[in-house]
Amino acid sequence: MGLKTVTIEVFGKVHGVYYRQSAQKKAIELEITGKVRNKPNGTVFIRATGNEEKIMALVKWCKDGPMLANVTKVEVIETPLTIFDGFTIER
């Protein structure tokens, strides 16, 4: 199965609830590379590269996130393939 890259934007109570750290842990567990960061508008931005099955598993996880999060919406857009070195948290 080939690789694909997606941009995921997560809405709701997702700042201050360890969302980025939890997303990084889940991505590493799924062997997905990419990055995650908080956006000033209160959302979490994720760019992730992996095979389709693993990307879909990450998207499914994003809909709940960590225990303290309250996710109201998740938007996913397929973007041009990007190769990352690991999965990082951006400040």
Active site residue 91: no
Catalytic hit among 38, 47, 51, 91: 38
Residues 46, 24: Cα–Cα separation, whole Å: 10
Active site residue 70: no
Are the beta carbons of 50 and 33 closer than 8 angstroms? yes
Residues 81, 48: Cα–Cα separation, whole Å: 9
Catalytic residue set: 20, 38
